[in-house]
Amino acid sequence: MGFEEEGNIEKPSQKSGKASRTLTLREVIELGEYDPDYLATFAEWHGLSHHIQFQYIREALDNRHRHLITQWAEINNMLDFSLKPHLSEALENIMVQIKKLEKDREKLYLEYSK
C-alpha cells in the first residue's frame, strides 16, 4: 500500500497555470454552507424568492448537521478510542459546532419568518 511504503510515494502531476474550480450554489448547499452572506455571493441567489432562499438554507443546515453527526460517529467508532484521549477533544469540538449550528438555525428561522 502507498501509505505503508515511504519510498514509493506518488506525487500528483502539476499542470501549468491555475487549476481553480469554483463551486456552484447547489454544490455549496450540498456541502452544508448555510450562511446567507456567503450564499449571496452567487449571482443566482439574488434571483430567488425569499421563500426559496430559506428552503436552500434549511437544506444546507440539515446537510451540515448530518456531516457533523457523521464526523462525530466516525471519531467515536475508531478502534481503541479509549486509548486515544486526544480524540475526546475532537468530539468536543464537533459538539461545539453542532451547538453553534442549532443557534444559527434558530436565528435564521426567526429572520426568514418575517
Instruction: Tell me whether residue 12 is in a domain.
Output: no
| Residue-level pLDDT at 6 | 44
Instruction: Tell me whether residue 93 is in a domain.
Output: yes
Q: Which residue has the cell 484521549?
A: 85
Per-block mean pLDDT, blocks of 10 residues, the chain (114 long): 45 51 94 97 96 97 98 90 87 97 97 92
| Residue-level pLDDT at 3 | 42
Q: What total of structural domains would you count in the chain?
A: 1
Q: What's the helix, strand, coil split of the chain in %, to 5?
A: 65, 0, 35
- Contacts of 91 by beta carbon, 8 Å cutoff, 6+ apart: 72, 75, 76
Q: In the Cβ-directed half-sphere of 18, how many Cα atoms lie within 13 Å?
A: 3
Grid coordinates representing 58 are 434549511
| Residue-level pLDDT at 1 | 42
Helix axes 50-76, 86-112, angle to 10 degrees: 170
Entry field: residues in the chain: 114
The closest of 65, 66, 47, 76 to 108, measured between CA atoms, is 65
Instruction: Tell me whether residue 38 is in a domain.
Output: yes
| Residue-level pLDDT at 4 | 42
Instruction: Tell me whether residue 94 is in a domain.
Output: yes
Q: How far apart are CA 32 and CA 2, in angstroms?
A: 31
Please state the pTM of the whole predicted model: 0.79
| Residue-level pLDDT at 8 | 47
Domain limits at 32?
21-112
**56 phi, psi to nearest 5 deg:** -65, -45
| Residue-level pLDDT at 9 | 47
| Residue-level pLDDT at 20 | 61
